[in-house]
Amino acid sequence: MNTRLSRAWLAGGFAAVLVATVLGVAVGAVSLPPQRVFLELVNHIPGVHIDSGLSEREAAIVWRIRFPRVVLALLVGSMLSISGAAYQGAFRNPLVDPYLLGSAAGAGLGATLAIVAGATGAPLPIAAFVGALAAVAMTYVLGASADRGRSTASLVLAGVAVTSFLTAVQTYVQLRNSDVIREVYSWILGRLVTSDWHDVAVLTPYVVASSVTLWLHRRQLDVLAVGDDEAATLGVSVQRTRIVVVVAATLGTAAAVSVSGLIAFVGIIVPHTIRLLAGRSYRTVLPLSLLFGAAFLVLADLVARTLISPAELPIGVVTAFFGAPFFLLVLRTSRIRP
């Protein structure tokens, strides 16, 4: 029974990604028939030759404009979701997210400094990436100075302190450079407007490496759920596992936010919803978070770019606006196990 349920959820995850991808490519200022978009995507599978019926102009819209953005949304959504699930397992708290240790504040400060300096294009995501990694490194240093065992409590408190400090610095920089506030907030609220195949190529190695590393530690995350002392008696190196998981999740998160901005809520709503509906084992939570997180962000981006077309909503606003009520509905209708 459990095996069948897992297979059903896995099939549902792949179906959600497929449907979200086709809709994300088909819907826009120029509407394209979803069935033809599906055939056009299938036609690019090696060994498959199908006439999609799209004109040369429509095919160009698919491959040069919409599909890169959809793929980027898939990568960012999957990375934020699986990182959130990993953080929740490492800290034994289903309500933490990938920004817990200060990566969001660091990325925000790095991007703000880059914007103030007049940087555009490649330097902006690099600055955000470096800022996120620097913030998490600061958190670990502070946590280690307070507790050599690097307990979860000391790391969380250090993360709160680093986040508050970096946010204050970012606010000060914005006040001293009020002319860039709008651009900074546009980045902070998340955007996939300028996505292209270069962004996809930059992000993909981080997503693959981080996801594989987290997947390889799925059993250790299950064991950590019983507590550090119990996990140690079962042969798990608690500190090593937590460090590897946090580093992998942080690298992936930093890479994701560097190209998309700070998209809130994905890293907490998707894995926790999976946990409520499909089961608590990380052998289930991690792959389903990867799939449904990818589909969720593609659909959120679709709403963001069509709801007030030709203008666009920040994607972070959409994920919070639609995600929060859905999450509350799941909490209300699901049986929460102690």
Average model confidence (pLDDT) across the chain:
86
Q: Residue 226 has what pLDDT?
A: 85
Residue 159 has pLDDT above 50, yes or no: yes
Residue 91 has pLDDT above 70, yes or no: yes
pLDDT band at 334 (very low <50, low <70, confident <90, very high): low
Residue 296 has pLDDT above 90, yes or no: yes
**What burial letters (b/e) apply to 84-95, b meaning 16+ CB within 10 Å?**
bbbbbbbbeebe
Q: Residue 321 has what pLDDT?
A: 85
DSSP, collapsed to helix, strand or coil, labels residue 49 as: coil
Read off the tokens for 219.
């059993």
Q: Residue 1 has what pLDDT?
A: 37
- Compute the distance between CA of residue 144 and CA of residue 281 in angstroms, rounded to an integer: 29
The model's pTM is 0.88
- Compute the distance between CA of residue 130 and CA of residue 112 in angstroms, rounded to an integer: 12
- Residue pair 135/148 in contact (Cβ under 8 Å)? The answer is no
- Compute the distance between CA of residue 156 and CA of residue 322 in angstroms, rounded to an integer: 28
- Compute the distance between CA of residue 58 and CA of residue 296 in angstroms, rounded to an integer: 25
Residue 93 Ramachandran class (φ > 0 left, ψ -120 to 50 alpha, else beta): beta
Residue 21 has pLDDT above 50, yes or no: yes
**pLDDT (tens digit, 9 = 90+) per residue, 102-155?**
888 998 899 889 888 876 666 778 888 899 999 999 998 888 776 655 567 788
- Compute the distance between CA of residue 196 and CA of residue 108 in angstroms, rounded to an integer: 22
Residue 324 has pLDDT above 90, yes or no: no
Q: Residue 122 has what pLDDT?
A: 65
pLDDT band at 194 (very low <50, low <70, confident <90, very high): low
Residue 338 has pLDDT above 50, yes or no: no
Q: Residue 3 has what pLDDT?
A: 47
**pLDDT (tens digit, 9 = 90+) per residue, 230-273?**
888 888 888 889 889 999 999 999 999 888 888 888 998 899 88
18 vs 108 pLDDT, higher one: 18
**pLDDT (tens digit, 9 = 90+) per residue, 302-312?**
999 888 878 88
328 exposure class (CB count in 10 Å sphere: 0-12, 13-18, 19+): exposed
Average pLDDT over residues 314-337: 75
